[in-house]
Amino acid sequence: MGFFAGLDELVRTSDVVVDRPRGTARPRYQDAVYPLDYGHLGDTTGGDGDGIDVFVGTATGAGVTGVLLTADVLKRDAEVKILLDCTPAEAELARAFLVDLGIGGHLVKRVSGSL
């Protein structure tokens, strides 16, 4: 099974839990406002031990459109954040948000037909 096919399966078999809706301030940094719905996949484990993080966009039905790779020096962790139903502009908003937080955000776009 390919990388994106694996993510598709995780999304398909998990509840998407949005705990920080678009426009919500980040708890530790009130000046940082989430540009998209943000949460995690229920019953999964990401790099930080919590559920796999997910940004949810407005392109309903698009599925997993990419991932953002982060490296947080302060937390000393690296993570993959799924972009679900994100337009290209929304993916860029999510990437810029993470860059502004200082944890980077290398965007890996899903190429049509990629597994």
Question: pLDDT tens digits for 39-97?
Answer: 999 999 988 889 999 999 999 999 999 999 999 888 888 899 999 999 999 999 999 99
- Taking a C-beta distance cutoff of 8 angstroms, is the pair 78, 98 a contact? no
Radius of gyration of the chain measured on its C-alpha atoms: 13
- The model's pTM: 0.94
Cα gap 95→61, rounded to integer Å = 21
Q: Cβ-count burial of 104 within 10 angstroms (0-12 exposed, 13-18 middle, 19+ buried)?
A: middle
pLDDT of residue 109: 95
